A and B are shown apart, each in its own frame.
Chain A
Amino acid sequence: MRKIRVVISKIGLDGHEVGAKLISAMLKNAGMEVVYLGKFQTPESIVASAFQENADVIGLSCLSPNHVRLIPKMMDLLKEKGMEDVFVVVGGTVPDPYPEELRNAGVREIFGPGTMSDKVVSSIKSLVASQKTRPISR
């Protein structure tokens, strides 16, 4: 069975990187293939990388409220490129009322501060398992 492929990224000008690096390490330890894109990525650059990496999941680490402004744009781009089968999950600081806005935009899971890594791992595994077919490549 092929490994789950995850692209982890920061989005926009949010400079808090600790969580993104942590979760990248933890998902790798859990047997996933992880590419960490780094800081200051745009919706365009994230989607392009996810396409290139044939990602199953895009995980965004957000510690600034720019998420509700930028993630919907990214979701639109995924739709445009026929990549709606890529699961988008968000971790970080997402207090009410933002989770609802993000879910309406298509984000599948939101992991708030203090979420343990095993929960993130099992959620991602469930999401990917729920998909009947996965593209071998794009």
Chain B
Amino acid sequence: MKKRESLYNEGGEPKFETSSGIPIKRIYDPEDISDIDYGKEIADAGTYPFTRGIYPGMYRDRLWRRRLLSGFGSARDSMERLTYLSSIGAEGVEVVNDSPSQLGIDADHPMAVEEAGLIGIPVSSLYDLEKILEGFPLDKTVVSFESTGVSGITIASQLFALADKQGVPLTALNGSIHVNPFDQYYCAYGTQQPLDLWTKLAVDVVEFTSNHKMKLATFHGSARLARENGVSAVQELALGMSSQIAFIDAILERGLNFDGIANRPVYTFAIGSDFFEEIAKFRAGRKMWARIAKERYHAENPRALRLYLAVRASGRVLLAQQPMNNIIRTAYQILAAALGGCNSIDPCLMDEPLCIPTETASWFGMCNQNILAHETGVPSVVDPLGGSYFIEYLTAELEKKAFEMIQKIDDMGGLVEAVKKGWIGKILEEEAYKFQMAVERGDKKLVGINEMVIPPEKEQGIPIHQTSKASTDEQVKRTREVKEKRDNKKVKDLLRKLIDEDKRNVNLMPLLIEASKEYATIGEIWGSLREGRGLNYDPYGMIESPFKD
């Protein structure tokens, strides 16, 4: 009988712990996982509950999708950068939206004129999306619109309008558009638009894509934003699954069928820096989703049980000091993602704490991906850490703790109630504070901050991207131009119709697609629907509808 090791020191603090606070033993052995039934809890890859991967062959059959995030400047700037990234092997188009479009206002809004294109792609109307995707055939390009704020709705309608204009069948579109409001509305850019309207439109998108049997994934969950605010791996699992649950419940309320809408479930995780915890987290995430789909929603569609993991390395763990070290940090992060069986991986780039990525940083990001893919041998076996006493223990433990937190959220009445009660906001603030204090006390060592510190004058500089004022101005001009050149009578009529149809509580996607084709803008669409519901046209109260009689 082995002597039981104490996990805690005399002060009651864990001697060693993961970043989520799970105490870690000195060494793990068969006893630690003896009650885990392989067939039930782990199973081979491609078999329920998919702990080891959603496909039997994983990277042996097809490598993870190697993505690089992009988006800045004018629509033309974004298109040029996307073209460059494609030329160096980045797979598909992965973009983040700029702040005006994430908030649902146009580039020429008084609050937006200095901001268009600063942190992402500027998409006020189809006129911009057309430009951004110039040269990318829609039936051969895998798109990923993940950091969308509220713009996911109009991006969907613009993309479908574009497909129609180009004669590409909707069923040929591939990739994902993030429309789920429940992981965004309580942080970052999601806070300005009414949740009920946003939810209604998001369910419209999912219903539309399901009815048209599209392979483009719009049923998408995440807690990446919360993670970037500082929450732990356990909290990321729980918050993300809870946001998925909140979205599913809204969708089911409409009478849609779970098996139909969850045909291609996608989940976005951040990749943190606690190496083994992240690997276990991805495995736990797949397993949790499979169980939620089967046990909570009684899924019968086998595809609804397989969670596609599209992951993005956390920018939060990267540092501005000695930024070339970030390439090393990201290498460990994407290694964890590959060992965790993720299906699409996006490394943050070395200049993330400083600026929008430069071409140099993007180049090294792609090198990072390809060195992992081709030089390490990692892709040649499925779930290589499966069976590790520590990894299996940690996977089970993360799952257990995350389900406990989901239960707490359920007991409070669900995610929206938990947000209303301030419970989630408190978690975000407390975790960020805890981490900062640990760094300041020196308990958490960070190379460049409190280890291997060098004076600023000795720093080796890297190129810094600057989005020019000219690019922003160009974007503002484009927006004003399209508003002048389009058929404004048609747009006015369509927006009026939109308000009427919203009152009839029908699916607005067909109308949104028509309006997008006529170059109605994101600000006009959101503004009109807001007015129809008795709110101010403009969330900032600065402008009025241009279509007032």
Chain A interface (Cβ < 8 Å from any Cβ of B): 12-18, 21-22, 25-26, 39-40, 42, 64-66, 69-70, 93, 95-97, 112-114, 116-118
Beta-carbon contact of B448 and A69 below 8 Å: no
Chain B interface (Cβ < 8 Å from any Cβ of A): 99-100, 102-103, 111-112, 114-115, 118-119, 187-189, 191-192, 229-230, 319-321, 353-355, 428-429, 432-433, 436, 440, 446, 448-449, 461, 464, 466-467, 469, 540
Q: How far is the CA of A111 from the CA of B319 in the complex (A)?
A: 14
Nearest-Cβ distance from residue A36 to partner chain B, whole angstroms: 11
**Supplied contacts A22-B436, A113-B320, A113-B353, 20 more A-B pairs, CB within 8 Å:** A12-B99, A13-B99, A13-B100, A13-B111, A13-B189, A14-B119, A15-B99, A17-B188, A18-B428, A25-B429, A25-B433, A40-B103, A42-B111, A64-B99, A65-B466, A93-B355, A95-B355, A114-B319, A114-B448, A117-B436
* From B115, B320, B353, contact of A13 by CB (8 A): B115
Beta-carbon contact of A18 and B432 below 8 Å: yes
Q: How far is the CA of A116 from the CA of B191 in the complex (A)?
A: 29
Nearest-Cβ distance from residue A118 to partner chain B, whole angstroms: 8
Known: A69-B469, A95-B464. A22 touches B449 (CB 8 A): no
Interface centre among B320, B321, B449, B540 (most CB of A within 10 A): B320
Q: How far is the CA of A18 from the CA of B230 in the complex (A)?
A: 8
Q: How far is the CA of A16 from the CA of B228 in the complex (A)?
A: 9
Beta-carbon contact of A21 and B432 below 8 Å: yes
Beta-carbon contact of A14 and B464 below 8 Å: no
* From B111, B115, B192, B449, contact of A114 by CB (8 A): B449
Q: How far is the CA of A116 from the CA of B439 in the complex (A)?
A: 9
Q: How far is the CA of A97 from the CA of B466 in the complex (A)?
A: 9
List residues of chain A with CB within 8 A of the CB of B187.
17
Nearest-Cβ distance from residue A69 to partner chain B, whole angstroms: 4
Nearest-Cβ distance from residue A101 to partner chain B, whole angstroms: 11
* From A13, A97, A117, contact of B103 by CB (8 A): A13
Beta-carbon contact of B321 and A117 below 8 Å: no
Beta-carbon contact of B433 and A15 below 8 Å: no
Beta-carbon contact of B99 and A114 below 8 Å: no
* From A26, A40, A70, A93, contact of B192 by CB (8 A): A40
Beta-carbon contact of B118 and A66 below 8 Å: yes
Beta-carbon contact of A114 and B320 below 8 Å: yes
Beta-carbon contact of A14 and B432 below 8 Å: no
Give 6 CB contacts A-B under 8 Å.
Answer: A13-B115, A15-B189, A16-B188, A17-B188, A64-B118, A95-B320
